[in-house]
């Protein structure tokens, strides 16, 4: 199959998108800065079929992109509450530790002060940001970032989550205050990869979900005495809900866990039916799209549809039925970096995507659209060649925004055609 390439045009602010149905071959862990030289390997398990073929459709929505603003190493974004049907304002994080308010009508960026000290390097730095469910009255935001250890252990790192109050939104000097710790990865370890640290609130606004990567150490994902390689579920103040699945485990920290056996979860989202979906990067092959269920074990590093960077085999999911298999497994990989469920609101730019998961791809340089049915079967529906590594995708009231990855990266709006 021939790849149709996308060229950046000189037309101001506009970029045509060409569509490719090719399943890309690229490393699953190729985040912006590789922490392990094996991250560049592209081989995958021989005979392993690619995830699921994109469904053919004569109604595949087309779009062009409009560049709104430019960033250096952006990582995440979320939308501030809409005001009088005005174009949305977004909060955008940069790995280097900066947080901005972006006026999407003009592209103007306002820096927010009062940020915590961030340990930047490798795959780490400032991470996710989400508005508290009661943001309209509290002005609380939750943020994740990487911090170093203390003075005697500052070559070890871990993700941390805080709550803060965002004030001065309507001024030229917005800032964070009242920074309050909520959660942290335990233990901190050497290396600067696989933090995950994606944040998500439950649909009822009562619980905070945190993805905690296994920090490239593999075995912590099955270790109930550490919170690495898990999806964590907490009350909004950081305490543990009484109905978490492992509250009676002999390891106190296990009370935090909602699911275990994860590698590097960079996208989580609830669909219209309240089901929790997550994707994670595999090793050499085996990126996963999972339905996350209470107390389930997803098998890493015991099973994977990929293989080790050394080339040695890993048993497939089908060999160990006690572990929950993925709904989709991608080999070659897509390097999924974020996820957002498309729901129409004030706008409905892409009605064909209603209820679907939008997934951004790094090595695949793609936007992937995944559909799921009543029986929780998931299928890749569309794939769009974006021509650049895509770090984040966000649906806002029926409009779609994406962040490119790396230096001099664009905040783009998808404009339907």
Sign of CA dihedral 375, 376, 379, 381: positive
What pLDDT was estimated at residue 152? 72
The pLDDT tens digits of the residues spanning 62-97 come to: 999 999 999 999 999 999 999 888 999 999 999 999
Q: What is the pLDDT of residue 60?
A: 94
Catalytically active residues are: 194
> How far is the C-alpha of 221 from the C-alpha of 217, rounded, in Å?
8
Mean pLDDT of 221-235: 99
CA distances to 9, 229, 339, 354 from 28, rounded to whole Å, are 29, 16, 16, 28
DSSP class of residue 121? B
The per-residue pLDDT for 59 is: 83
The whole-number pLDDT of residue 150 equals: 84
Phi and psi at 91, nearest 5°, equal -95, 125
Regarding predicted confidence, which is higher, 263 or 3?
263
Exposure on the CB side of residue 95, measured as CA atoms within 13 A: 25
pLDDT band at 193 (very low <50, low <70, confident <90, very high): very high
What pTM was computed for the model? Answer: 0.89
Least confident residue range of 47-51, 285-289, 402-406: 47-51
The C-alpha angle with vertex 257 and arms to 255 and 260, in degrees rounded to 5, equals 140
Q: Return the domain boundaries, the chain.
A: 63-416
Average per-residue pLDDT for the chain: 89
Q: Above 60 in pLDDT, residue 48?
A: no
Q: What is the CATH topology of the domain spanning 63-416?
A: Neuraminidase (2.120.10)
Q: Each residue of 147-178: pLDDT tens digit?
A: 999 877 779 999 999 999 999 999 999 999 99
CA 55 to chain centre: 24
Lowest mean pLDDT among 135-144, 153-162, 346-355: 153-162
Q: Which residue has the higher pLDDT, 38 or 251?
A: 251
């Amino acid at each position: 199959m021939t790849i149709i390439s996308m060229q950046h045009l000189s037309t101001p602010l506009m970029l045509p998108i060409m569509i490719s149905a090719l399943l890309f071959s690229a490393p699953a862990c190729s985040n912006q800065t590789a922490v392990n030289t094996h991250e560049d390997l592209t081989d995958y398990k021989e005979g392993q079929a690619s995830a699921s073929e994109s469904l053919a459709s004569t109604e595949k929505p087309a779009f062009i992109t409009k560049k709104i603003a430019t960033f250096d190493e952006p990582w995440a974004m979320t939308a501030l509450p809409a005001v009088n049907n005005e174009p949305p304002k977004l909060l955008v994080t940069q790995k280097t530790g900066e947080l901005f308010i972006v006026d999407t009508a003009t592209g103007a960026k306002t820096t927010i002060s009062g940020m915590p000290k961030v340990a930047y390097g490798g795959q780490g730095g400032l991470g996710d940001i989400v508005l508290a469910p009661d943001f309209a009255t509290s002005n609380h935001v939750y943020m994740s970032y990487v911090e170093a250890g203390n003075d005697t252990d500052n070559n070890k790192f871990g993700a941390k989550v805080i709550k803060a109050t965002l004030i001065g939104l309507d001024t030229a000097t917005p800032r964070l205050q009242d920074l309050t710790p909520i959660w942290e990865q335990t233990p901190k370890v050497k290396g600067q990869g696989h933090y995950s640290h994606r944040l998500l609130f439950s649909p009822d606004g009562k619980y905070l979900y945190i993805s905690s990567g296994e920090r490239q150490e593999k075995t912590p994902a099955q270790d109930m005495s550490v919170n690495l390689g898990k999806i964590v579920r907490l009350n909004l103040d950081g305490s543990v809900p009484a109905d978490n699945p492992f509250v009676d485990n002999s390891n106190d920290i296990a009370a935090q866990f909602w699911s275990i056996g994860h590698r590097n979860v960079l996208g989580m989202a609830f669909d219209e039916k309240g089901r929790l979906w997550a994707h994670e990067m595999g090793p050499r092959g085996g990126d996963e799209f999972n339905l996350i269920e209470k107390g389930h074990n997803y098998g890493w590093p015991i099973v994977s549809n990929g293989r080790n960077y050394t080339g040695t085999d890993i048993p497939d999911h089908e060999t160990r039925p006690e572990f929950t298999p993925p709904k989709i497994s991608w080999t070659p990989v897509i390097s999924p970096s974020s996820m957002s469920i498309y729901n129409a609101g004030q706008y409905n730019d892409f009605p064909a995507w209603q209820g679907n998961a939008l997934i951004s791809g790094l090595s695949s340089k793609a936007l992937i659209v995944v559909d799921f049915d009543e029986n929780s079967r998931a299928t890749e529906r569309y794939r769009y060649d974006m021509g650049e590594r895509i770090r984040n995708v966000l649906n806002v009231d029926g409009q779609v925004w994406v962040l490119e990855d790396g230096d001099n990266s664009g905040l783009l709006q998808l404009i339907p055609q």
